[in-house]
Amino acid sequence: MLAGFILGCMQQIDDGAPSGDRALVLFSGGQDSTTCLAWALARYPHVETVGFYYGQRHAVEMECRQAVRAALSPLHANLGPDHVIDIAGGLAALGATALTSEAPIETAPGGLPTTFVPGRNLLFLTYAAALAWRRGLRRIIGGMCETDFSGYPDFRDDTVKAMQLALNLGMDRRFVVETPLMWIDKAATWALAADLGIAALVIEHTHTCYRGDRTHAHAWGRGCGTCPACRLRADGYAAWRDAVPA
Ligand code: ZN
């Protein structure tokens, strides 16, 4: 028990984790942001969550957010308040995408998927930083990932680093934007969730499916099983399970 406690402390130090920093997690209720939330809860003494209503075509994500928080809350006294920011009007005025309308999910002529919402993650980070400024939160944590990304340019490490610099200059703060999933694939994200003790919670409560399907249950969670987000999640789960020693 004591050895485990000491090891836990050493791991915290090895991770470069600090300190008394308070954190804000960009939290959608999906697998990646839920893993980021558990990661932050293991490191920081106070963790708040922020979600965005951007006119997504399915409300199921927003419902899953509350289910995940309800499951984590009894285990983590450091889980602070949740915030939801409505930016639907602004994004809707800029035009439809496959995440905000019934447009088909496919690759557009320019090479980007039709699920790309231009500027969405830049807006998320800007709103999150404005909230963090007011709440006195220094660490801003998001599930952006360059390994398995769908080609979203605002998920790139360079984009996130550039945003951190812009936000710090523009708000006169020293925010640290952290992306624990940036260089790992979906199988490794599953392994991280297992290490954090939330694999079952991810399967039961998180939502990733682009079609908003919660009626089909699989070993890896609920979803249609055929959209790009479901396939990525299912393939990652299979690769993770294959790698786990029997
Ligand atoms: Zn799906």
Strands 217-218 and 176-178: unpaired
- Segment 32-40 shows an average pLDDT of 97
CATH number at residue 43: 3.40.50.620
Domain presence at residue 241: no
- Segment 106-112 shows an average pLDDT of 64
Q: How far is the CA of 219 from the centre of ligand 1 (A)?
A: 14
Q: How far is the CA of 207 from the centre of ligand 1 (A)?
A: 9
How sure is the predictor about 89, in pLDDT bands with cuts at 50, 70 and 90?
confident
Q: How far is the CA of 183 from the centre of ligand 1 (A)?
A: 24
Residue with structure tokens 């690769």?
239
Domain presence at residue 166: yes
- pLDDT at 204 > cutoff 50: yes
* Higher-confidence position of 101 and 28: 28
Domain presence at residue 114: yes
What pLDDT is stored for residue 211 in this prediction? 87
Q: Say what percent of the chain tops pLDDT 90.
A: 65
Mean pLDDT of the chain: 86
Domain presence at residue 113: yes
Q: How far is the CA of 45 from the centre of ligand 1 (A)?
A: 35
- Report d(CA 153, CA 84) in Å as an integer: 24
pLDDT in tens, 136-185: 999 999 999 988 666 688 889 999 999 999 999 999 999 999 999 999 99
Using DSSP's 3-state secondary structure scheme, residue 81 falls into strand
Are 148 and 186 in contact by the 8 Å Cβ rule? The answer is yes
Q: What is each CA distance from 5 to 8, 9, 10, 11, 142, in whole angstroms? A: 5, 6, 9, 10, 27
What pLDDT is stored for residue 107 in this prediction? 67
The phi, psi pair for 109, rounded to 5°, reads -55, -30
pLDDT in tens, 47-74: 999 999 887 767 788 889 999 999 999 9
Q: Which residues contact 164 (CB under 8 A, 6 or more apart)?
A: 175, 176, 177
What pLDDT is stored for residue 16 in this prediction? 46
Q: How far is the CA of 221 from the centre of ligand 1 (A)?
A: 10
Q: What does the DSSP assignment read for 164-190?
A: HHHHHHHHTS--EEE-TTTT--HHHHH
Domain presence at residue 192: no
* Number of neighbours of residue 213 by Cβ within 10 angstroms: 17
- pLDDT at 4 > cutoff 70: no
Domain presence at residue 67: yes
Tokens of 57: 């075509």
Tokens of 78: 């450091």
Return the biggest CA–CA distance within the chain.
Answer: 58
Residue 99's domain spans which residues?
A: 25-185
Domain presence at residue 9: no
- Report d(CA 179, CA 185) in Å as an integer: 13
Domain presence at residue 31: yes
Q: Which residues place a Cβ less than 5 A from the ion ligand 1?
A: 209, 211, 223-224, 227, 230
Q: What does the DSSP assignment read for 98-160?
A: TTTSS---SB-TTSSBTT--TTHHHHHHHHHHHHHHHHT--EEE----SSS--S-GGGSHHHH
Q: How far is the CA of 24 from the centre of ligand 1 (A)?
A: 28
Q: How far is the CA of 174 from the centre of ligand 1 (A)?
A: 38
Give me the number of domains the chain comprises.
1
- Report d(CA 42, CA 235) in Å as an integer: 27
Q: How far is the CA of 228 from the centre of ligand 1 (A)?
A: 7
Q: How far is the CA of 208 from the centre of ligand 1 (A)?
A: 7
- Segment 207-219 shows an average pLDDT of 92
